[in-house]
Amino acid sequence: MNQQRSGQGWGNRERRQGDAAGNRPRGNPPGQRPTPQDEPRSSEGRSGRGASREDADGKGEQSQSRGYKDLIVWQRASELAVAVYGLAKQLPVEEDGTLGEPLRRAAASVATSIAAGHARYDAAVFAQRLLKARDHLAELDTLMAIAVQLGCLREASVEEVTPMMVSVRQLLQRLIQRVETQERA
């Protein structure tokens, strides 16, 4: 059964961790799952811009939802893409087209698949795009392993990126499970 999103984000519980001073955003304490009331709701359709919520004082609070950019998994996938672009610069010039381009494309595709799925406002499509992002992550992992085996990349360089890949994979898996659960509900 396909369900349309009704202003609630699927993975936004992983959003904002606090500002530079360590102040946490309003809502649930760390480690506690948010309720649908904690999610920003848009008063202007799907864009999420200009949404207003009432706080405990009953006064309206302006919140600017950025959609997929609020998802920690998208943020980490974007950071991973930037790191892989840096890694690809270490490749020999003659390997840039054969290994560098596929490495960069796979890394960027993880983040773009998440964003494209989130933009569709449909749980089934979002789940499919998240699965596709996970596929691109496996492709990236394989390409990096091949580059190390060929001696084009140092293993130490790849190991610097590996924790980022593991983090994105774990976040993706949790979000996939959450979206699929919501889709069945």
**Please, are residues 36 and 8 in contact by the beta-carbon 8 Å criterion?**
yes
Residue 166: which CATH number?
Answer: 1.20.1440.60
Name the residue type at position 100: G
> Which pLDDT value is given to residue 182?
86
| Domain-embedded: residue 162 | yes
CB under 8 Å, gap of 24 or more: what pairs does 155-158 form? 157/87, 157/90, 158/87
Asked whether residue 106 is assigned to any structural domain, the reply reads yes
Count of structural domains, the chain:
1
Question: With 90 as the cut, is the pLDDT of residue 149 above it?
Answer: yes
Average pLDDT, the chain: 75
Summarize pLDDT for 13-23 with one digit per residue, the tens. Answer: 443 344 444 44
115 located within any domain:
yes
In three-state form (DSSP H/G/I as H, E/B as E, the rest C), the secondary structure along 51-118 is EEEECCCCCEEEECCCHHHHCHHHHHHHHHHHHHHHHHCCCCHHHHHHHHHHHHHHHHHHHHHHHHHH
Tell me the pTM: 0.66
- Please state whether 32 falls in left (phi above 0), alpha (psi between -120 and 50) or beta: beta
Band (120; pLDDT cuts 50, 70, 90):
confident
Q: Is 151 within the bounds of a domain?
A: yes
- How many Å apart are CA 104 and CA 110, to the nearest integer? 10
Q: State the average pLDDT over residues 76-92.
A: 97
Q: Which candidate, 85, 72, 89, places its Cα nearest to that of 140?
A: 85
Three-point CA angle 108, 148, 81, nearest 5°: 15
Confirm whether 87 is domain-assigned. yes
Measured N-to-C along each axis, helices 155-184 and 72-88 cross at an angle, to the nearest 10 degrees, of 150
Domain that holds residue 129: 68-184
pLDDT at 159 over 70: yes
Q: In this model, does residue 135 exceed pLDDT 70?
A: yes
| Nearest Cα to Cα of residue 67 among 82, 37, 45 | 45
Average pLDDT of 165-179? 96
Please state, in angstroms and rounded to a whole number, the distance separating the CA atoms of residues 68 and 66: 6
